Amino acid sequence: MKKQGILNSHIAEVLANLGHTDTIVIADCGLPVPDGVKKIDISLKIGMPGFIETLDVILEDMEVEQVTIAEEIQENNPKVLTFIEKKFSKGQIQAVTHEEFKKKTGQAKAVIRTGEATPYANIILHAGVIF
């Protein structure tokens, strides 16, 4: 049995297979997942697990060079935005409209669906390299 790191075998597999610039999405429970994109649903009930705790765990195991968020988060979810801004530099954060964000999820290797139920608590993580 795995001793540390991400125990969810589906998430661990996706992270192990990422290459430079590949993307994954961490999503609230309402974000639509495009056909053909792998959905890893870890939601248990409204709010569990949350976006923040899920992002924290993923970042322990993934090298991220850039992130994409929806512009609408600025007015509608300042708590999550503040958390994202603490984790990433301004140069790493790209904001697009929510409609554009949803289109970009179509290129993701996977969408990890959380139980988060606050608006625009979604992020696209762009894989970096460790060297």
Annotated binding site for substrate: 28, 98, 120-122
Is 20 catalytic? The answer is yes
Q: What is the separation of C-alpha 116 from the centre of its chain, rounded to a whole number of angstroms? A: 12
> Which residues participate in the annotated binding site?
28, 98, 120-122
Q: How far apart, in whole angstroms, are the C-alpha atoms of residue 19 and residue 59?
A: 15
Whether the Cβ atoms of residue 108 and residue 37 lie closer than 8 Å to each other? yes
For 80, the token pair is: 């999550």
Residue in 13, 20, 21, 61 annotated catalytic: 20
Q: Which residues are catalytic?
A: 20
